[in-house]
Structures are given as C-alpha cells and as structure tokens.
C-alpha cells in the first residue's frame, strides 16, 4: 500500500535531493515521492548519471500519487555543473506553492582511500574533493533557501547526510573524514544563524552500497580494510531502504534539536 500523504509539518511543497540516482539517495527518493503526494509538489532529483536519473524519474512518475518530478544531471564538483543546478533552483523553487521546503544533501564521495595523509600532496586533488563534497553542499543549500525564501505558512528543513567519520578518524580516510566533519560544522552554523530553518546531520550507518565495496577493497590500511570486510561478512551492513525509512521517520516526527548529529544506531 502506498503511504498516505501527511498533513501539518510534512506538507512538503518542494524536496531537493542530491546524489539521487543510486544507493541511499535512490532509496530516499522512492520513499519520499509518494509522501509528497500531490501534483503541485516538486521533487527535484540531482545526480551526475543522466540515464539513471531519467530511469528513476520515470519510475516515480508512474506512482499513483506522484508529485512533479524534475531532474538535473550535473557534476556538482565542477563550477559548470554547480551553476547548472543553482540556475534550476532559482527557476523552479519560486514557483512552488507554500508548504515545507526539504533539502537533502546526499551527494558525496570517498576520495582516494588507498592514500595515507602523507600521500596527499596534490592541491588539485584535494581542492577537487572539497569542491564536490563541501563547497557544492554549501552553495546548493544557500541558493535553495534563498530561492524558496521566507513565506507565511511555509517552513524549511535541511538534511546533511553525515557519517560516523564526521566524529571519528579513520586511517586512510583523511579526505572523507575531513569533508564530513566540515559539513557537520557548516550545517551547525546554519542552525545557529537561521533558527527558523530546521537542520539535521543524519549518519545513515554502514550502508550496503558501492561505497562500502570500495571501503573493504581499496582502503590502504590493512586493519581498516579487514574491519570493513568483517562488517560485510557478519551481515552488519544496513540496507539503504531501512536507513532511509529511519530518516523519513525523523523528518515526520520533527522533534530533533536543530543542528544535531543523529546516528542510525541512536534511533
């Protein structure tokens, strides 16, 4: 049975979801689409893979209570791609009805986890990583909040898909840990500056995704590699839909402290 659209704080007018084409983002899109549940609501899907986005959009539009689904295929790590997305936000968000704006920053990458701290000497590589994983999330979020604006009868919620790595160092994961920690703090500042914006840093747990496959095969440190292998072998990896459902429940309940970091295992 399809979920029934919820009233009140879940009356979403627009949802912007990055990294939507696969894994956790794709699972989220499938859960969110029927919950928006009205033709005037906008679900804006962002990812690099145009074909995968188009396939997902077609699937979601086929739902009985589908919202208006729009896609922007762009590389958020380059200036041209980010500009394409911010232009779409400025064009689309002012046209949506009053209600809740939901921004979910899910797009992210591991970086080269075969390298140790001392191997990271190329500023081009480092700047490219942070352009995609930090800069784009800041620009996307600030542009979306401005484009939607403050409206009577409306609210705004921003979600950062975080990680345990935002709080704990992992060998060979210098870029990933630094990027996740930076994003957590960045969105804490947003919560402090804009008390009318609800902000959540959600760590979805060790998901059964391509990223986890990279973690257990490409991590340079052998102990870390074995740790990730043991998660897979002992069945401790989490299905994307299970974790996505926990996030949806958090957003529906809307009782979290703005700016807080919530882990899958805390709920």
pLDDT score of 8 more than 50 = no
Is 173 part of any domain?
yes
Is 1 part of any domain?
no
pLDDT given at position 1: 31
pLDDT given at position 4: 37
Is 234 part of any domain?
no
Is 220 part of any domain?
no
For range 108-112, the mean pLDDT: 97
CA distance 136 to 70: 19
- Residue 52 CB burial class (10 angstroms; 0-12, 13-18, ≥19): middle
Dihedral sign computed on CA atoms, order 7, 187, 23, 267: negative
pLDDT tens for each residue of 180-216: 999 999 999 999 999 999 999 999 999 999 999 999 9
pLDDT tens for each residue of 231-244: 999 999 999 999 99
Is 7 part of any domain?
no
CA distance 29 to 16: 10
Is 235 part of any domain?
no
Helix (H), strand (E), coil (C) string for the chain: CCCCCCCHHHCEEEEEEECCCCHHHHHHHHHHHHHHCCCCCEEEEEECCHHHHHHHHHHHHCCCCCCEEEEEECCCCCHHHHHHHHHHHHHHHHHCCCCEEEEEECCCCCCCCCCCHHHCCCHHHHHHHHHHHHHHHHHHHHHHHHHHCCCCCCEEEEEEECCHHHCCCCCCCHHHHHHHHHHHHHHHHHHHHCCCEEEEEEECCCECCHHHHHHHHHCCCHHHHHHHHHHHHCCCCECHHHHHHHHHHHHHHCCCCCCEEEEHHHC
pLDDT score of 9 more than 60 = no
The CATH number covering residue 178 comes to 3.40.50.720
Is 215 part of any domain?
no
Is 227 part of any domain?
no
| Domain of 163, in residue numbers | 13-205+242-263
The total number of structural domains that make up the chain: 1
pLDDT score of 258 more than 70 = yes
Q: What does pTM read for this prediction? A: 0.95
């Amino acid at each position: 049975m399809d979920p029934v659209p919820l009233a009140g704080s879940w009356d979403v007018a627009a949802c912007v979801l990055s990294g939507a084409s696969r894994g956790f983002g794709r699972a989220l899109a499938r859960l969110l689409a029927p919950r928006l549940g009205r033709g005037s609501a906008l679900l804006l899907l962002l990812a690099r893979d145009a074909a995968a986005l188009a396939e997902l959009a077609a699937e979601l539009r086929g739902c009985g209570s589908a919202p208006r689904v729009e896609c922007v295929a762009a590389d958020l790590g380059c200036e041209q791609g980010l500009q394409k997305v911010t232009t779409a936000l400025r064009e689309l968000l002012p046209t949506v009805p009053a209600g809740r704006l939901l921004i979910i920053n899910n797009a992210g990458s591991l970086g080269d986890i075969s390298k140790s701290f001392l191997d990271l000497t190329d500023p081009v590589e480092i700047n490219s990583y942070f352009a995609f994983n930090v800069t784009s999330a800041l620009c996307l979020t600030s542009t979306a909040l401005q484009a939607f604006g403050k409206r009577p009868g409306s609210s705004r919620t921003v979600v950062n898909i975080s990680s345990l790595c935002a709080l704990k160092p992992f060998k060979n994961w210098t870029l990933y840990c630094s990027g996740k920690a930076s994003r957590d703090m960045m969105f804490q500042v947003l919560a402090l500056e804009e008390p009318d914006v609800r902000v959540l840093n959600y760590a979805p747990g060790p998901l059964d995704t391509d990223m986890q496959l990279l973690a257990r095969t490409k991590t340079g440190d052998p102990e870390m590699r074995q740790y990730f292998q043991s998660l897979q072998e002992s069945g401790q990896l989490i299905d994307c839909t299970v974790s996505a459902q926990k996030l949806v429940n958090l957003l529906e309940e809307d009782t979290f402290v703005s700016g807080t970091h919530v882990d899958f295992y805390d709920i």
